[in-house]
């Protein structure tokens, strides 16, 4: 007699994940999702268990950013889901595809207040917590719908403007047998035909670039693929167009390219901000003009539209003209639109040459790098932040992927770190989430195992996400954490000091009012990682070399002076603190 194995919701879900070429599932166990873990154990898909759901979410985010595939996150009901909220919202703010699958209370106990049900002010609707930031929530009410909803979840996460989605599954649906008529695959579409530019729009944009006297390309995080980056460089070189970038656009074109003028906004450069204000035409590519990149949209400091003409290309129609009027706007995938523009530009035999501009850019950029090198050569201890960044830049291979948290390690790197052409910069831009870096580096390394991955973390952020260390050790993920340790929430302490003359509540002190820091190197060593604390200025480079050659995750604790990140642009909070509304 032949015994046919009954397919349950859990086994069918895992089988379909395999058909979607899912490489990893990130998450944490709970009584509502262990049926899925049981199915995963017999599959080819590893489960990357974390010690906290926020760690799992950030790791899934890092993996998605580097692989181009959705990060898959498996959560438990109630506190499992709420612990991951910050990580999923971070992915949403940066348009990162993620499929979140969470167990829920049994369907037949819905609304009866069973164990861990969220029901204080709503009728057991835990998906409502995610609704403000995910693209869609599906609540599975019949096991027959599980696979169809899973296909819709993946499609929604990757199509249009990417982002997270939530598939909420009552735990009994994972254990229910799948009826024969529902036990079949729901394949994803073979390709996503994202919109490009129609020929008329491409011609109009290229003509405007050619005829403009002081044009500027503004590249955002929407410039993703290697093909688009190459097309961006070719378009810029054809018309000798200077390239500014947003925070998320850092590294889309190498910092040493002669047309790159740097970052706009609060933490941009005086030159880039001034050039953007004086430009007569700005071509904005895949950017939403966030407040940080736009000097709080203040016409005294930010771009002036009008009289500057703004052409904006973005995949999300809601972003076109949201912060500045456009003329024209084009709804298109920048990864397709840029090659369309290059093809149209090639058809114009004439290019444009602006040798004086290149010389001006070189003079400005060289001044930035020379200042960075000078500050980075100081042997004072604790280390100046520039010294930490310069030592890293000197020792790290060109193909290193830098993952940052927030503070000096994000804004300082974006502004003053000369990223090599082969380098990559990963940062939490839209949500600016403290605690992102320690775990995001785990996912980045899984997606790019052949690249060194270095996470630059403040001590405040490292304290909040220490569970990333045993997670990396347990799974043998060899990343390097560099803790830029100033015993403070440095950026906020600097703001408070400059406006109120105090740093109360923003610095770490022991009962004797002395600076306090945990022994991060000791904690790392206790977890099985290699832990090193820098005691003199000349030790950091050697520690970095040792970390690159280590056979396990490494944490380097680098004591640092508490200095504010240079802020050449304007941030409206200064007006608020001063009462100048």
What is the rounded average pLDDT of the residues 227-234?
Answer: 96
What is the rounded average pLDDT of the residues 244-271?
Answer: 95
Position 580 confidence tier, pLDDT thresholds 50, 70, 90: low
What is the rounded average pLDDT of the residues 440-444?
Answer: 98
pLDDT score of 315 more than 50: yes
- pTM, rounded to two decimals: 0.96
Share of the chain above pLDDT 70, in %: 98
- What's the confidence (pLDDT) of residue 490? 92
Q: Which residue from 560, 556, 557, 539 is spatially nearest to 548, judged by alpha carbons?
A: 556
What is the rounded average pLDDT of the residues 350-377?
Answer: 92
pLDDT score of 191 more than 80: no
pLDDT score of 3 more than 60: no
Cβ neighbors of 109 (< 8 A, separation 6 or more) are: 117
Position 179 confidence tier, pLDDT thresholds 50, 70, 90: confident
- What's the confidence (pLDDT) of residue 117? 83
Which tens digits make up the pLDDT trace of 21-60?
999 999 999 999 999 999 999 899 999 999 999 999 999 9
What is the rounded average pLDDT of the residues 90-108?
Answer: 97
CA distance 556 to 547: 8
How confident is the prediction for the chain on average, in pLDDT? 94
What is the rounded average pLDDT of the residues 157-175?
Answer: 97
Q: Which residue from 293, 225, 321 is spatially nearest to 430, judged by alpha carbons?
A: 293
Domains and CATH numbers, the chain: 9-182 (3.40.50.970), 199-360 (3.40.50.1220), 376-559 (3.40.50.970)
- What's the confidence (pLDDT) of residue 5? 66
pLDDT score of 238 more than 50: yes
- What's the confidence (pLDDT) of residue 565? 84
Position 1 confidence tier, pLDDT thresholds 50, 70, 90: very low
Position 190 confidence tier, pLDDT thresholds 50, 70, 90: confident
pLDDT score of 532 more than 50: yes
What is the rounded average pLDDT of the residues 154-178?
Answer: 96
- What's the confidence (pLDDT) of residue 88? 98
Choose the weakest-confidence range: 141-150, 524-533, 534-543, 569-578. 569-578
b/e for 397-420, b at 16 or more Cβ within 10 A? eeebbbbbbbbbbbbbbbbbbbbb
Share of the chain above pLDDT 90, in %: 87
- What's the confidence (pLDDT) of residue 348? 79
- What's the confidence (pLDDT) of residue 4? 45
Q: What is the DSSP letter of 237?
A: H
Rounded to the nearest 5°, which phi and psi values hold at 340? -60, -45
Which pair of tokens denotes residue 232? 């961006």
């Amino acid at each position: 007699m032949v015994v046919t194995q009954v397919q349950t919701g859990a086994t069918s879900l895992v089988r379909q994940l395999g058909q979607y070429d899912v490489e990893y599932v990130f998450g944490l166990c709970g009584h509502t999702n262990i049926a899925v873990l049981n199915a995963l154990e017999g599959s080819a898909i590893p489960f990357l268990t974390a010690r906290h759901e926020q760690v799992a979410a950030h790791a899934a985010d890092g993996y998605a950013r580097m692989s181009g595939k959705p990060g898959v996150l498996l959560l438990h009901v109630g506190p499992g889901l709420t612990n991951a909220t910050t990580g999923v919202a971070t992915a949403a703010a940066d348009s990162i595809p993620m499929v979140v699958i969470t167990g829920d209370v049994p369907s037949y106990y819905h609304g009866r207040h069973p164990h861990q049900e969220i029901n204080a002010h709503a009728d057991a609707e835990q998906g409502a917590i995610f609704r403000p930031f995910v693209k869609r929530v599906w609540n599975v009410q019949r096991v027959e719908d599980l696979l169809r909803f899973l296909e819709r979840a993946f499609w929604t996460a990757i199509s249009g403007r990417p982002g997270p989605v939530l598939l909420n599954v009552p735990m009994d649906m994972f254990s229910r047998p799948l009826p024969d008529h529902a036990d079949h695959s729901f394949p994803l579409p073979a390709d996503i035909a994202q919109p490009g530019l129609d020929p008329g729009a491409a011609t109009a944009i290229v003509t405007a670039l050619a005829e403009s006297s002081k044009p500027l390309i503004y590249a955002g995080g929407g410039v993703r693929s290697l093909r688009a980056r190459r097309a961006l460089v070719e378009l810029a070189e054809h018309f000798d167009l200077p390239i500014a970038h947003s925070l998320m656009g850092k590294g889309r074109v190498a910092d040493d390219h002669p047309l790159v003028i740097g970052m706009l906004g609060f933490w941009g450069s005086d030159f880039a901000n001034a050039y953007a204000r004086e430009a007569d035409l700005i071509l904005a590519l895949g950017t939403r003009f966030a407040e940080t990149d736009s000097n709080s949209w203040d016409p005294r400091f930010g771009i002036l539209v009008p009289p500057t003409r703004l052409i904006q290309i973005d995949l999300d129609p809601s972003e076109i003209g949201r912060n500045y009027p456009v003329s024209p706007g084009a709804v298109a995938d920048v990864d397709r639109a840029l090659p369309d523009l290059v093809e149209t530009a090639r058809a114009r035999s004439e290019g444009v040459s602006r040798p004086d501009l290149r010389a001006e850019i070189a003079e400005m950029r060289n001044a930035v790098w020379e200042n960075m090198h000078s500050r980075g050569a100081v042997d004072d201890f604790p280390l100046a932040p520039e010294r930490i960044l310069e030592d890293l830049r000197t020792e790290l291979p060109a193909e290193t992927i830098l993952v940052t948290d927030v503070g000096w390690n994000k804004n300082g790197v974006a502004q003053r770190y000369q990223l090599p052409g082969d380098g990559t910069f990963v940062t939490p831009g839209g949500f600016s989430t403290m605690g992102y870096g320690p775990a995001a580096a785990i996912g980045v390394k899984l997606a790019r195992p052949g690249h060194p991955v270095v996470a630059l973390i403040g001590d405040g952020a490292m304290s909040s996400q220490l569970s990333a260390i045993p997670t990396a050790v347990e799974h043998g993920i060899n990343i390097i954490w560099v803790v830029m340790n100033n015993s403070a929430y440095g950026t906020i302490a600097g703001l408070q000091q400059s406006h109120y003359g105090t740093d109360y509540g923003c610095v770490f002190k022991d009962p004797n009012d002395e600076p306090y820091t945990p022994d991060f190197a000791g904690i790392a060593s206790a977890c099985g990682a290699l832990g090193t604390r820098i005691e003199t200025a000349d030790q950091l480079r050697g520690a970095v070399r040792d970390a690159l050659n280590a056979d396990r995750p490494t944490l380097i604790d680098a004591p640092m002076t508490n200095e504010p990140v240079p802020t050449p642009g304007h941030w409206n909070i200064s007006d608020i603190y001063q009462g100048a509304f």
